[in-house]
Amino acid sequence: MRPVLSRRAFLAAAALSARSLEAAGKTLCGVPLEILKHGRSRRRYLRIHGDETTAAEALREHLKTARGTGFLVTNPKRNILIAGGLLDPNRMFSRQGAERSYRRLNPKWTEAELTPALAWLDRERPKLIHALLPPKGGLLFAVHNNARGYSMEEEIPISQQTSLARRNAPHEFFLTTDPGDYALLAKGPYNVLLQNEPKGDDDGSLSRLCGRLGVRYVNLEVALGKLAEQKEMMAWLERTLPE
């Protein structure tokens, strides 16, 4: 005969189940993060720009079923005030990229303001990188939205391979740093770019860092507001790439 749970035991079990997708928060390298965990997995997920709201909604929905750890930047705007100046958080993963972003977003800064900010980033950046990167062999899946004219057409010239199944939909595409992942994704119905050795100057992006380190990374770009399409493409990637 099965034992009957007391009300207290039932509520405790329900609370434990709810915590399987738990929200926590911390700030690393000046970046405020909400952390969502669902089960155990070597997968890591990231929404890095605070104004890319469709990506955030898609990621929250995705992590209700997919296993892994998600990071959502909680700053409501694209750029974040870090070390006294505005900075694009996806340009801070190298000193060169951070310097360019600082100069662009803080045009009145003097060298006396810029130099200590860059030095502070150099000290703090490893903590953020350590948190975001997956364990060996794991996948980092970043979700983005574009609403400023950006599209895959800007990435094609600096990519090593391209599979353009939907050339007429340039705002929806995958970008990966791993040739094996590219080979699998390129068999599907979506645009896919491989950048394991991106050309041009280092822009400080996370994709460039992962390319240099040999980390499996996929970025999904979808136009802002296209929630159904972003969710569909995220689900397809989960089915297509191995754990």
221 three-class SS = strand
Element (H, E) at 25: strand 21-28
Rg of the chain on CA atoms, in Å: 19
Q: With left for phi above 0 and alpha for psi between -120 and 50, is residue 121 left, alpha or beta?
A: alpha
Confidence of residue 11 (pLDDT cuts 50, 70, 90): very low
> In angstroms, rounded to a whole number, what is the distance separating the alpha carbons of residues 41 and 70?
11
Tell me which of 57-66, 147-156, 169-178, 231-240 is least confident: 147-156
Q: When comparing pLDDT for 16 and 180, which is higher? A: 180
Mean pLDDT within 153-161: 95
Q: Is the pLDDT reported for residue 3 higher than 80? A: no
Q: Is residue 19's pLDDT more than 80?
A: no
Rounded mean pLDDT of 142-168?
94
Contact indicator for 39, 214 with CB cutoff of 8 Å: no
| pLDDT surpassing 70 at residue 61 | yes
**What is the rounded CA–CA span in Å between residue 45 and residue 68?**
7
pLDDT digits (tens, 9 = 90+) for 110-152: 999 999 999 999 999 999 999 999 999 999 999 999 987 899 9
Q: Residue 142: what residue type?
A: A
84, 117 contact by CB (below 8 A): yes
The yes-or-no verdict on residue 80 having pLDDT over 50 is yes
Quick check: 28 pLDDT over 90?
yes
Which structure tokens are listed for 141? Answer: 């899946």
Q: What are phi and psi of 160, to 5 degrees?
A: -85, -35
Compute CA 209 distance to the chain's CA centroid, rounded to the nearest angstrom: 12
Please tell me the predicted confidence (pLDDT) of residue 177. 97
Confidence of residue 2 (pLDDT cuts 50, 70, 90): very low
pLDDT tier at 23 (50, 70, 90 boundaries)? Answer: low
Which residue matches tokens 């009300």?
Answer: 7
Each residue's pLDDT tens digit, 167-176: 999 999 999 9
Q: Is the dihedral of CA 123, 125, 127, 130 positive or negative?
A: negative
